């Protein structure tokens, strides 16, 4: 079994996306709204901008002050919705507490919602209709497919019930004919459920939350979390010291942190932006 390292796939896809961008008569453009100084958000946003540059799509950050008023953010989103030159709009989360995150996220026009977070796009996904899909779930399914991991008929356990990861991911696994369980902080007998699953997705956000003895042999483990351990090193939920046992002794598949799901999320965001532009041009 294997370490499901996304780097090779990402560099192959970047080349493909560059070709697709060059075929368009107008370059796609992505606008990212960032509010305040959240450190992790800053890192994610600059990563997204760098990838846009790599594939040759236009990108812009609108960086607003921590104490910006709700009405100002609303106006910016409504203007971007109307702007013919803007392909995709993204409100980087989290945003400061005085702002209404649900309302503002939903203000983005479904068509321009590159995150797939609006009620319209989430609803379409639940109904099996075509729409924009959340990027981390998209990336997880594509990474598993790239490594030819069987999904059909498998028991999948998702440890996360968020709107960004758990809920849309459950829909995508259902679409692939898996049997899906969503676990969360109130779930009973979690360890038993993990042992019984063929595919386990962990997005708990706690370093060393899982280790080698938690998994049955041949399990596919997808580690979505980005945590920092005591030494300040990036890690996921699965103990790094157990990677070796999981892969070589237990014959598990495992997505590493870094270089696993995180790499895929940005790639999917860029691809979804290009897809929106392609659809617009084919109309």
- Binding residues for ligand GUN, rule: CB under 6 A, are 90-93, 115, 135-136, 164
CB-wise, 29 or 92, nearer to ligand GUN?
Answer: 92
CB-wise, 28 or 197, nearer to ligand GUN?
Answer: 28
**What is the maximum span of the chain, computed from C-alpha positions, in angstroms?**
56
Minimum Å gap between C-beta 251 and ligand GUN is 32
Find the residue with minimal CB distance to ligand GUN.
Answer: 93
Fill in the DSSP letter of residue 234.
Answer: E
Minimum Å gap between C-beta 283 and ligand GUN is 26
Minimum Å gap between C-beta 229 and ligand GUN is 20
- Helix, strand, coil in percent for the chain, rounding step 5: 45, 15, 40
Kind and range of the H or E run holding 169? helix 166-175
CB-wise, 31 or 200, nearer to ligand GUN?
Answer: 31
For 72, the 3-state DSSP assignment is helix
Minimum Å gap between C-beta 81 and ligand GUN is 16
What CA–CA distance (Å, rounded) separates 46 from 198?
35
Minimum Å gap between C-beta 1 and ligand GUN is 28
CB-wise, 155 or 275, nearer to ligand GUN?
Answer: 275
Kind and range of the H or E run holding 181? strand 179-183
Minimum Å gap between C-beta 91 and ligand GUN is 6
Token output for 270: 């860029």
CB-wise, 105 or 253, nearer to ligand GUN?
Answer: 105
Token output for 253: 């598949």
Q: Identify the bridge partners of residue 238 per DSSP, sorted by sequence position.
A: 210
Residue 96 CB coordination number (10 Å): 15
End-to-end CA separation in angstroms for the chain:
44
Q: Identify the bridge partners of residue 182 per DSSP, sorted by sequence position.
A: 158
What CA–CA distance (Å, rounded) separates 50 from 71?
30
CB-wise, 164 or 247, nearer to ligand GUN?
Answer: 164
């Amino acid at each position: 079994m294997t370490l499901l390292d996304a780097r090779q796939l990402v560099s192959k896809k970047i080349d493909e996306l560059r070709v697709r961008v060059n075929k368009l008569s107008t370059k796609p453009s992505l606008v990212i709204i960032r509010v305040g100084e959240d450190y992790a958000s800053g890192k994610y946003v600059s990563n997204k901008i760098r990838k846009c540059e790599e594939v040759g799509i236009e990108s812009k950050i609108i960086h607003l002050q921590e104490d910006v008023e709700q009405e100002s953010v609303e106006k910016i989103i409504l203007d971007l919705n109307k702007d013919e030159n803007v392909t995709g709009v993204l409100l980087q989360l989290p945003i400061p507490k005085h702002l209404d995150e649900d309302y503002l996220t939903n203000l983005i026009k479904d068509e321009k919602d590159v995150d797939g977070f609006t009620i319209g796009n989430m609803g379409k996904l639940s109904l099996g209709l075509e729409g924009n899909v959340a990027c981390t779930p998209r990336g997880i399914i594509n990474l598993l497919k790239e490594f030819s991991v069987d999904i059909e008929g498998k028991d999948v356990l998702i440890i996360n019930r968020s709107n960004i990861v758990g809920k849309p991911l459950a829909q995508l696994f259902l679409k692939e004919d898996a049997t899906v369980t969503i676990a969360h902080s109130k779930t009973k007998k979690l360890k038993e459920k993990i042992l019984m699953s063929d595919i386990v997705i962990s997005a708990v956000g706690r370093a060393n939350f899982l280790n080698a003895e938690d998994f049955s042999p041949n399990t596919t483990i997808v580690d979505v979390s980005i945590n920092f351990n005591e030494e300040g090193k990036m890690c996921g939920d699965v103990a790094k010291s157990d990677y070796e046992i999981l892969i070589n002794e237990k014959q598990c598949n495992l997505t590493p942190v870094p270089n696993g799901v995180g790499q895929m999320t940005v790639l999917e965001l860029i691809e979804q932006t290009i897809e929106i532009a392609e659809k617009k041009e084919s109309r």
